[in-house]
A and B are shown apart, each in its own frame.
Chain A
Amino acid sequence: MSASSENNGQIFALIAEFETPGAIMSAAEKVRDAGFKNWDVITPFPVHGMDQAMGLSRSKIPIVAFCGGLTGFTLGMSMVYYMNKVDYPLVVGGMPYFSPVFPFPVAYELTILFAAIGSIISMFLFNSLPMHHHPTLNYEQIEKASNDRYFIVIESTDPQFDETKTPNLLKDIGGNNIGKLED
């Protein structure tokens, strides 16, 4: 609620608005090249190629998904082994108590279940969500950010941040309505 006008709070970041995906893309490249670290781009949909423009590495989620899948498969197989062979051997049609074949559907489904849950949980953890109190959410124009406008947020904690130079940089790269976000 309390952006730009009142200045009694701590400045969290500067925010600038852009009109098109093309404009935000080239602006992001310039912010990246200027060497900023604690900054972000707010878009209503994932803009193709923005990760490279921001200089972000590939997401680590597949690693978690793989570990989840491996856990699920191992859990499925060992569960059946323990239950049908060790704890209560179950004689069915004179067949062996355990074989890797018949528990396969169970292990397979658990592989998928654990990989899916793993990737969703890690997505929330890596993104630090849910977080309902982020200063960006208090920005009065936030409605535009989930509709058809694009924003660059440069945080004051960035070592390069400067109260006079950074607004000029945002202006130079084509940003409009440059405002302040407060903590």
Chain B
Amino acid sequence: MTTLTDTVPANTALIDEARPADLPRQVLVENDRDFDWITNKICGIVEAKTPTWWWIAFTLSAFVSLFTVFGIIYLVSTGVGVWGLADPVNWGWAIVNFVFWIGIGHAGTLISAILCLLRQKWRTSINRAAEAMTVFAVVCAGIFPLIHVGRMWFAWWLFPIPNSNAIWPNFRSPLLWDVFAVSTYGTVSFLFWYVGMIPDLATIRDRAKTKIRKIAYGIFAMGWRGSNRHWRNYEMTYLLLAGLSTPLVLSVHTVVSFDFAVSLIPGWHTTIFPPYFVAGAIFSGFGMVLTLMLPLRAIYGLHDLITQYHIDCMCKILLATGTMVGYAYMMEFFIAWYGANDFEAFAFVNRAFGPYAWSYWIMISCNVIAPQFFWFKKIRQNPMIVWIVCIFVNIGMWFERFVITVTSLSRDFLPSSWGYYSPTIVDVFTYVGTFGIFMFLFLLFLRFLPLMPMGEIKAVMPQADPHHGKNHH
């Protein structure tokens, strides 16, 4: 380059003209903050006095989570008759809620694993909270299949453990695949979350002022000391976990969709289900990530770490996945007609215009229409509107699972066995209570654990580059 310009000075202007423009890299941490600021900001959240709003929110969520506790106690002591399930609809809210919560979790894994493999550096400031969200969403999801088995004290029969009947589980059943998929997902997500937290726990330990704090964080920090000999193995493990979580997250919702797709019910028995469920899961999960992160950003003043660029990226993912989900809705209709199967065609016409049409159109407007607002930059730049759209996405994705589960079951092959399903108050309370459980766990996470991966944020900042400030060419 230098030799060229030195020997042929006349060409300099031409070369400058022909050279592609230097596109500015998006700044991931705004206002030119240094490492110390980041450490103080994130550790400060954990070290500061417990804020009043936290106590109010914590008490409220603890109270709401009691709804689920009492719902389950009532269910177990009385019987599954307390739910709205009745022939022909024997899969109701429990399965809807299960798929809803599992889906929420998927964005956390997407952010931490898939975006890590794709080297999307903007993931660093949101991945910890999103992973926490995943773990807590799986906790909420896990409640439902457990209580849905009816006699939940026999739920352990689902696992390949020798029992007094001497019968092993039937491994041909997608419900059993689900047991393996969800328990693996829960375990790996938790471990991934924890391993990612170790260096940050060590930071909090090193800063601890009291003995108890030092010991408590010290135990979980595993004696981490930032040694590069450790970082070498640690980074490899992190990369492997990202590589393993990626096929895992895709398989989990695929297996969840098999619960439906492997049956013979019209409207369920479709091959589009796995990709459609995965896209929907990521869509709903990002909706939940933004629902949680936008208020946190405002409360803790994290605007330099969760920048407009981060919000933009997430809105665009919502737009893309929302549109994919819309495409899947259309394609289901097309195949129902093109497949020339009367039952299949009826199932879909019934969804859109039958007794549950209200839920279908709630689903369409929340999932397909609402995210289309994100085409506009003005809307993406208004956190309030983004937050409201995300609430619609959360609602819409719950209704998607409701539409799939209930409409197909309520109108099956024989009109004589048709029915109409409505939940009971026990269904409603058990479900609402899971939001309490989710918030309860999330608030504890906010209070005691590092909200963002400090090490990872520092590592993607320009100052972290050993060649920073030197000539790159």
A residues near B, CB below 8 A?
A: 20-22, 24-25, 28, 40-51, 54, 56, 58-59, 61-62, 65, 79-80, 83-84, 87-88, 90, 92, 95, 102-103, 105-106, 108-110, 112-113, 115-117, 119-120, 122-124, 126-127, 129-134, 136-137, 142-143, 145-148
Contact of B468 among A21, A110, A122 (CB under 8 A): A21
A8 to B172 Cα, complex, angstroms:
69
Please, which residues of chain A bring their CB within 8 A of the CB of B456?
45
B168 within 8 Å of A (CB atoms)? yes
Shortest C-beta distance, B255 to chain A (Å), equals 6
> Is A42's CB under 8 angstroms from B170's CB?
no
B160 within 8 Å of A (CB atoms)? yes
> Is B180's CB under 8 angstroms from A143's CB?
no
B241 within 8 Å of A (CB atoms)? yes
Shortest C-beta distance, B211 to chain A (Å), equals 13
A140 to B233 Cα, complex, angstroms:
26
Check A102/B232 contact, CB under 8 A, given A21-B463, A62-B240: no
Shortest C-beta distance, A53 to chain B (Å), equals 8
Check A46/B231 contact, CB under 8 A, given A112-B247, A116-B244: yes
Please give me the residue from chain B that is nearest to A76 by CB atom.
B180
Task: Give per-residue flags for B34-47: 1 if the beta carbon is below 8 A from chain A beta carbons, else 0.
Answer: 11100100000000
> Is B232's CB under 8 angstroms from A44's CB?
no
Please, which residues of chain B bring their CB within 8 A of the CB of A20?
463, 466, 468
Please give me the residue from chain B that is nearest to A98 by CB atom.
B171
B464 within 8 Å of A (CB atoms)? yes
Shortest C-beta distance, A95 to chain B (Å), equals 7
Please give me the residue from chain B that is nearest to A92 by CB atom.
B172
A119 to B259 Cα, complex, angstroms:
31
Check A142/B464 contact, CB under 8 A, given A41-B227, A56-B229, A102-B171: no
Contact of B223 among A22, A56, A87, A137 (CB under 8 A): A137
> Is A120's CB under 8 angstroms from B241's CB?
yes
Dominant SS among interface residues on chain A: helix
Please, which residues of chain B bring their CB within 8 A of the CB of A44?
35, 39, 199, 203, 226, 454-455, 458
Shortest C-beta distance, A129 to chain B (Å), equals 5
> Is A130's CB under 8 angstroms from B223's CB?
yes
Q: Which of B434-466 contact A (CB under 8 A)?
A: 454-456, 458-459, 463-466
Please, which residues of chain A bring their CB within 8 A of the CB of B228?
28, 40-43, 46-47, 50-51, 54, 56
A102 to B225 Cα, complex, angstroms:
46
Task: Give per-residue flags for B204-240: 1 if the beta carbon is below 8 A from chain A beta carbons, else 0.
Answer: 0011000000000011001111111111111111001
Contact of A61 among B160, B206, B224, B240 (CB under 8 A): B240
Dominant SS among interface residues on chain B: helix
Check A129/B230 contact, CB under 8 A, given A95-B172, A142-B225, A145-B225: yes
B202 within 8 Å of A (CB atoms)? yes
Nearest first, the 10 A-B pairs at minimum CB distance are A148-B35, A83-B168, A59-B236, A105-B177, A25-B466, A130-B222, A146-B203, A45-B455, A41-B228, A123-B237
A sample of 9 more A-B contacts (CB under 8 A), given A28-B228, A120-B241, A148-B35, is A21-B465, A46-B228, A62-B240, A88-B166, A116-B192, A122-B233, A123-B237, A134-B223, A146-B202
Check A116/B236 contact, CB under 8 A, given A44-B458, A46-B455: no
Please, which residues of chain A bring their CB within 8 A of the CB of B168?
83-84, 87-88, 90
B residues near A, CB below 8 A?
A: 34-36, 39, 160, 166-172, 174, 176-177, 180-181, 184, 187-188, 191-192, 195, 199, 202-203, 206-207, 218-219, 222-237, 240-241, 244-245, 247-248, 251, 255, 258, 454-456, 458-459, 463-470
Shortest C-beta distance, A3 to chain B (Å), equals 15
Of the A-B pairs whose beta carbons lie under 8 Å apart in the complex, a sample of 17, sorted by A's number, is A21-B465, A40-B229, A45-B459, A109-B251, A112-B188, A112-B244, A115-B240, A116-B188, A116-B192, A116-B241, A119-B237, A120-B237, A122-B233, A142-B225, A145-B206, A146-B226, A148-B36
A59 to B229 Cα, complex, angstroms:
9
> Is B455's CB under 8 angstroms from A129's CB?
no
Please give me the residue from chain B that is nearest to A57 by CB atom.
B232
Shortest C-beta distance, A63 to chain B (Å), equals 11
> Is A80's CB under 8 angstroms from B468's CB?
no
Contact of B191 among A41, A42, A116 (CB under 8 A): A116
Shortest C-beta distance, A126 to chain B (Å), equals 5
Please, which residues of chain A bring their CB within 8 A of the CB of B195?
120, 123
Check A50/B231 contact, CB under 8 A, given A109-B181, A119-B240, A148-B35: yes
Please give me the residue from chain B that is nearest to A24 by CB atom.
B466
Please, which residues of chain A bring their CB within 8 A of the CB of B177?
105-106, 109
